[in-house]
Amino acid sequence: MEQLGRYRVIGELGHGAMGVVFRALDPTIGREVALKTIRLGDFTNAEQRTRQRDRLFREARSAGILSHPGIVTIFDVGEQDGVAYIAMELVNGVTLEQMMAKPEALDRERAIQMLGQTAEALDYAHRKGIIHRDIKPANIMIVSETGHIKITDFGIAKITTLDQLTQAGLMVGTPNYMAPEQVQGKTVTGRADQYSLCVIAFEMMTGEKPFVADHLPPLVYKIVMEDPPPAARLNRTLGQKIEAVLRRGLSKSPDDRYASCLELVETLEEACAATPGWKTQARGATFNLPTVSTETAQPKPAPPPQPEAITLPPPRPRPEPPPEPKRRAVPVFLAVLFGLGLAGLVYYARRPIAPDIVPPPPKPPLVESPKPEKSAVIRQPEAVTPAPAPAEPPKTEPPKTEPPKTEPSQVEPAKVEPEPPKAEAPRAAPPPSRPPRTSPTSVEVPIRSEPPGAQVMLDGLPGTACNTPCTLKATTGVHNITVSRPGFRTVTREIRVEPDMYEPPVVTMVSAMGVIMLQSQPDGASIFVNDKPVPQKTPAQLNLPPGHYTIRVEKGDLKGAQTVEVRDQGFHHIAIPLTQ
């Protein structure tokens, strides 16, 4: 393509959501522009193609009134050979998507600065009544010369994003950054752009998008029905204050978000200032983190500051001790006492140990050994021989020396003392040292649910079931409660029961719900679910509880119907052709 309208095409800059972006020259004023093309020929229905072109021209002209240094200016809009084109300001730089795709994380001060500039530009457009509807890193440019940001595609996203979700066979991109009310086809305000900006902030800080899926249906379901993962779990340097700001910015209801985009960024900046040590995280960094508990992933507290070293004065030299006085001669009486003591020791050392000093032998045979000596003494008078009596003392001298020989036999058992059981005495002591067993304390646990009327069961025991609000009796410790109610998802929660310290849990239940993406050919048909009218027109998203439904659409004399079974967390895409 060499010419498009009055613009001469120089080269290709890239591919957009629904067409090609060219570098072109405006010969009228000699200015280079970026031409973004949109293929209207992809819409096979002539009525739909005409409506799309009219909306494109109207929105492009509305966006042309925006004049802000943070917004790419739109110069012109036109159509040629089934291709609509928009001439806009040519920006020399890179997109935020390209910066975030690098392996290293963004500088945290630079990240907050870019979020603030984007918020200011968005709030300016919202005051002018223009909503972007497709804020994402690929639509935020960073000017190479100045480093400032510029938002592209203002006013164009309103036309293209809804068709990305509803046009059969033409899924261009994924709505990772879109607000829940936007993917449901509801009326959007500037808080939808705020939600998208918060998704970008979440990704800058954690390296992950809050909602990710391989296909569009489960992704839309997560955006509409599920809560985002805790940011502090994905990045441990983020504290609870940053977590609270991101969670509010990603609220499902627009009324629960901040009043403006700038208020979101300013509150986030204050939370970051109150969280020392926080860091941004590169994409995919969470895959390298170790698995941690979902209950506690807090950063480790910094070690206490070490006390300053104190310089001590050099030690004083110790005075030399005075010389010892000369020893005097030992008095004579002390020498005599010492000699007498030494002689007594020698005398008692050579003297056999007295029998009464040695402990009596434990065995009875040793006590009975003196009996033969008594019998020998009784037999002596019968011999009537007085002569041998004087000779007995020399014969009895050796026996007197025999007791020392028997002493070892008597003393040896005491030396060996094979009695280790005495050392085991402490092992028998544990029974008294054990704390007395006490029966577990029973605590009454009041439980409430929102909405009330749900059945609560303790630790899976049917005998404990009651309907909320009610009270369960539980022993102190950790228990599991199961809360169920028809039409709602069953909730299982772990609770810790403690005496006098227990806070009754309030269980918030989520309705069981499935999603139907409904489309008709042509669009704009009235919708009836089981013959009940729905205040929406096709294309639309229907959130219905599980069950069987008959979906009927009507437009004038054209009608169509289809039966579908909705399952909890299921996603269905239905295209109903209208016939006579």
SS (H, E, C) 16-66: CCCCEEEEEEECCCCEEEEEEEEEHHHCCCHHHHHHHHHHHHHHHHHHCCC
List of domains in the chain = 3-89 (3.30.200.20), 93-285 (1.10.510.10), 444-508 (2.60.40.1120), 514-577 (2.60.40.10)
**pLDDT higher at 497 or 146:** 146
The alpha carbon dihedral of 262, 264, 265, 267 has a sign of: positive
Residue, of 518 and 172, whose pLDDT is higher: 518
ω into residue 539 within 30 of 0, thus cis? yes
Q: Are 226 and 304 in contact (CB under 8 A)?
A: no
Question: Mean pLDDT over residues 536-558, rounded?
Answer: 87
> What is the H or E stretch that residue 430 is in?
helix 430-433
Contact 57, 78 (CB under 8 A): no
Query: pTM of the prediction?
Result: 0.54
Among residues 123, 134, 163, 193, the one annotated as catalytic is: 134
Active site residue 227: no
Residue 314, pLDDT score: 55
Cis (ω within 30 of 0) for the bond into 462? no
pLDDT of residue 157: 54
Residue 510's pLDDT band (cuts 50, 70, 90): confident
pLDDT score recorded for residue 204: 95
pLDDT(60) > 80: no
**8 versus 51: which is more confidently predicted?**
8
Question: What pLDDT was estimated at residue 99?
Answer: 92
Confirm if 470 and 456 have CB atoms less than 8 A apart. yes
CB-CB contact of 544 with 487 (8 Å): no
Q: Output the six-digit token pair for 313.
A: 């004065």
Q: For residue range 394-410, list pLDDT tens digits in order.
A: 444 444 444 444 444 44
Residues 158/163/165/167 CA torsion (nearest 10 deg): 170
Most confident of 212-216, 300-304, 422-426: 212-216
Per-residue confidence at 56, pLDDT binned at 50, 70, 90? confident
Residue 173 DSSP SS3:
coil
- Distances from the Cα of 301 to the Cα of 129, 295, 314, angstroms: 48, 17, 38
What's the average model confidence in pLDDT over 467-474?
A: 87
Q: What integer pLDDT is reported at residue 358 of this predicted model?
A: 46
d(CA 312, CA 161): 75
pLDDT value at residue 320: 54
252-287 burial code (b ≥16 CB/10 A, e <16): eebeebbebbbebbbbbbebbeebeebebbbbebee
pLDDT of residue 530: 92
pLDDT of 235 > 50? The answer is yes
Q: Is-contact 56 37, C-beta < 8 A?
A: no
Amino acid 446: pLDDT:
85
- What is the distance between the alpha carbons of residues 199 and 176, in angstroms, rounded to a whole number? 8
Averaged pLDDT of the chain: 75
pLDDT attached to residue 292: 39
pLDDT of amino acid 290: 45
What is the per-residue pLDDT across 127-170, written as a single tens digit (0 to 9) for each? Answer: 988 888 889 999 999 998 888 999 988 766 554 444 444 433 33
Q: What is the pLDDT of residue 381?
A: 44
Q: How far is 561 from 552, CA to CA, in rounded Å?
A: 4
User: Who has greater pLDDT, 213 or 335?
Assistant: 213
Among candidates 38, 44, 35, 45, which has minimal Cα distance to 6? 35
pLDDT tens-digit readout, 81-120: 878 888 888 998 999 999 999 989 999 999 999 999 999 9
